[in-house]
Structure 1
Amino acid sequence: MAEVPEIDLMDVAVLNDPFTAYERARAESPVARLGVPGFPVPFLALTRHEHAKALLADPRFQVNSGSFMPPPGIPEQCLAYMRTMSEREGPEHTRLRKLVAPAFTARRSGRFRPRIEAVVAQLLDDLPGNEQDGSVDLIAHFARPLPMDVICELVGIPEPDRPRWREYGAAVAAGIGTAFAEAVPGIVEGAKAAVERSRAAPGDDVLADLVRAHDEGDRLTDVEMVTLVWHLVLAGQTPTLLIGNAVEALLTHPEQLATLRAEPDLMTGAVEELMRWCGPQLLTTPRFAQEDVDVDGVRIEQGSAVSAAIAAANRDPAAFTDPDRLDVRRGAGPAAHIGFGHGPHFCLGASIARVQTEVALDALLRRFPDLALAGEPTRAPDGGTWRLAELPVKLRAE
């Protein structure tokens, strides 16, 4: 392989400002090498929008068991539910996607909007009661519980069980570790119970849609339905991270915040712009090259792991005008961001994530017109995601 720039994902400078690191790499080469201690094969990232987007729909690059390693400490009886649709390719993936996709359309997500609005309103009602010394952590008391509360609505978790599911969500959001592993059995058992309830008495939720879903006699098994609930819990962290990043971005760009407050009809497009500009995923799940592939003169060898560098592609000047500027008026252009991926593995829950984020930001900004930062936000050091650990805010002007 020709000489390509290297990005050390453990480097503090990269962790603190990945966008600058990816910008430099993108300017130098369409391919960057990712420094990840102990990774068994060359790990590369495509830095330019054209190539990154193409990668995600290219059958020469495929996800496999090496793309997702089971987190340590997961009990043996739970491992059967850990291999989600994202790890599957070919007919296996196509079958599952065809069965579940109708439950996650934009129209279906829109029908859930009133229930999402009710969840958001309750969390906002509770925010003032969580203030300490005049400020409240918006991650802990709003962005983090929101997706789990919505998932509980989506899969029919009974009200008495929902506080426990919030704890599961917090453990998963904190990243792989002891708490993460300890949460998995509870999620699996709760999902099994939810599937049984839905089969016995289907309600107006996603599981009921999936119980009814069939294609030429083919139906989801109980294991596949429980696995999908686990998938929703994992993917449900995207709104948590996006809402936190979005609020920080707007509060540190007061002219954009003022525009959005003055023209709330811009919110739908603003969510897309925020996903482009400060979306939580820096890299896509790695795909493995099935053969040698040339990317604009750089040879990628068979067996190499390759990710699309979302942080680079979504700020590529070849695809976006003035890409480093946050602009809630940007609207749709000739290029689309890849914050939710692209191709066969495009994020199944993108529509739900969009609705959650739109509802959350709109309601938060209306409810607290004097919302302001109350100190420096704390970022979690993570080479794969851009996420806040804490976001202290003041709800009212002093």
Structure 2
Amino acid sequence: MTTTAADTSAEPVDLFAPEVVADPWGAHGRVREAPTLQIGGFMGGPPMFMAARYEHVKQVLTDPRFLTNPLTDDLDEDIRIGVFKHLDVPEDLIPWLKNLINASDGDDHSRLRKLVSYALTNHRVSKFRPRVEEITAKLLDELAEATKDGSPIDLVDTFCYPLPVTVICELVGVDEEDRPQWRSWSDAMATLDGERLPTEVRKTLAAARAMIERRRAEPKDDLVTALVQAQTKNPDIVTDDELVGVLFSLVTAGHQTTTYLIGNSVLALLEHPDQLARLHADPSLWPQAVRELQRLGPIQFGQPRFATEDIELGGVMIPRGMPVLPMIMGANSDPRKFPEPEKLIVDRLAVGSESHLGFGKGIHRCLGQHVAYLEAEVALSGLFTRFPNLSLAVPREEVPWILRPGFTRTKDLPVRLVPAS
């Protein structure tokens, strides 16, 4: 039997409600286990259907009848534009925040994705492994020196963030002096800080444009140079504005989510000492472990998708033009797909199967997944090998979290590091 929006919950789910923000796992679970698809929204935006069961989320992510951009030119009906207006972001900056590579469809998406995908294939990323190991070893040396007196340290600021931001900036070609600006912009975007966003966007736009011009004058062995040279050979392949948008997407996504993944993973492993013991006993399990950790990872939901025609989903008829929110956290904890989903089981997922949806699915699957897996594997295995008795420096309930819809992650991670004897 097919139902309509009128048959779903009478009380829309507010994803910014304090109880949802405080317990996203519970909230996603309640939406997933409701008898039919629920209606929800955030920041005063339009109502959306909420897909939370694994099979429903996978369909939304892979069905070509769902697009990331709405089917209308009416700006008020675009959820992303509504969010930025809610934050009082100036109108001239909204297109930069809205039209990133992961928010395009069809030929535009294929053209932009093809430009950068060759640099982030598993084969090419694997060649970068020695450099990732070198950066990790240096950071671990600095941790050991900073804590040799036994004092605690914030692992997010000293390890979880510096590794992925250094890696993605080196891969892309962000000069070292520009990296603090990219972090400042990313922090403002991640926390939806409406007061800081306009200033940070303008500064980062200027930095990106300057970087592109530097590479035109002085080419280097990096992705920015490759993109500039591709544009020189074929001016129609990408505009300067699109180059800036690509850099925005790659640098921001390339370190934010990996920072959260590494920090959350440390906490998860400390909470599952039996699984950490298995990794100590058999380090070959680390590639599988990071996939399981991403299943339990920081991403709560993906971009809304818009139905290009009336589509049946989970027994509900989605009207043409209606947005559907893919609730990644709900899908990745769906017991129909993952038995005992709340448990961390380091060898649950086979390398290559990618059954979890933590990096999305289909044509919009995260371009940087191979980089993220490599960084998490090297970082976590290196950290727990160097400091096998690592422990929290505060009670578990005192670990501070950033409470904001979209991501679930630690703000700080105070730990004590005890080197191997």
* TM-score (ref. length: structure 2): 0.85
- Of 143, 167, 192 in structure 2, the residue corresponding to residue 150 of structure 1 is 167
Does the CA-based 8 Å contact 1:100-1:213 persist in structure 2? no
Residue 179 of structure 1 corresponds to which residue in structure 2?
Answer: 196
- Structure 2 counterpart of 1:52: 57
Identity of aligned residues (%): 42
Match for 2:361 among 342, 346, 354? 342
Match of 1:372 in 2: 391
Aligned to 2:318: 300
Change (3 A) 1:127 1:78: farther
Q: Is residue 294 of structure 2 the alignment partner of residue 275 of structure 1?
A: yes
In 2 relative to 1, CA 180–111 (structure 1 residues): closer, same or farther, beyond 3 Å?
farther
Corresponding residue number in structure 2 for 1:234: 252
Check whether the contact 1:139–1:389 (CA below 8 A) recurs between aligned residues: yes
1:157-204 deviations in Å (ceiling 9; x for gaps): 333444454444444444433334332233222222322233334322
Once the two structures are TM-superposed, the CA of residue 258 in structure 1 deviates from its matched residue by 1.2
Equivalent-residue separation in structure 2 for 1:242 and 1:38 (angstroms): 29
Task: Mark the CA change 1:77 to 1:176 in structure 2 (over 3 Å): closer, same or farther.
Answer: same
- The letter of the residue matching 1:121 is A
Shift of 1:118: 2.5
Report the more deviating stretch, 211-220 or 386-395.
211-220
Q: CA 1:335–1:220 in 2, change beyond 3 Å: closer, same or farther?
A: closer
Between stretches 212-221 and 142-151, larger displacement belongs to: 212-221
Aligned to 2:156: 139
CA deviation map 1:296-328 (0-9, x unaligned): 322223332211111111122222232221100
Distance 1:247 1:203 in 2: 35
Aligned twin of 1:203: 220
Moved more, 210-219 or 165-174: 210-219
> What is the TM-score of this pair, normalised by structure 1?
0.89
Q: Which whole-Å deviations, capped at 9, do the CAs of 1:238-270 have from their partners, x for residues lacking one?
A: 101111111110111111111112211111111
The alpha-carbon distance between structure 1 residues 297 and 171, as it changes in their structure 2 partners (threshold 3 A), is closer
Distance 1:74 1:188, change over 3 A: farther
8 A contact 2:125–2:371 mirrored in 1: yes
Distance 1:160 1:35 in 2: 39
Partner of 2:281: 262
Deviations 1:102-136 (A, max 9, x none): 12211121122222223223332333565698211
Corresponding residue for residue 103 of structure 1: 119
1:68 to 80, 86, 92: 80
**Residue identity in the other structure for 1:247:** V
Whether contact under 8 Å (2:169, 2:251) holds in the other structure is no
Query: Which sections of structure 2, spanning at least 5 residues, go unmatched?
Result: 71-77
Tell me how far apart the structure 2 counterparts of residues 39 and 225 of structure 1 sit (CA, whole Å): 29
Q: Which shifted more, 264-273 or 321-330?
A: 321-330
CA distance in 2, matches of 1:109, 1:89: 26
Structure 1: gaps of 5 or more residues: none
Q: Any idea what SS the aligned residue of 1:387 has? A: strand
> What secondary structure is seen at the aligned counterpart in 2 of 1:288?
strand
Deviation at 1:91, TM superposition (A): 1.5
Instruction: Give 1:76 deviation, angstroms.
Output: 7.0
Mapped to 2, the partners of 1:366 and 1:141 lie a distance apart of: 17
| Count of residues paired in the alignment | 395
Output the amino acid matched with 1:64.
Answer: N
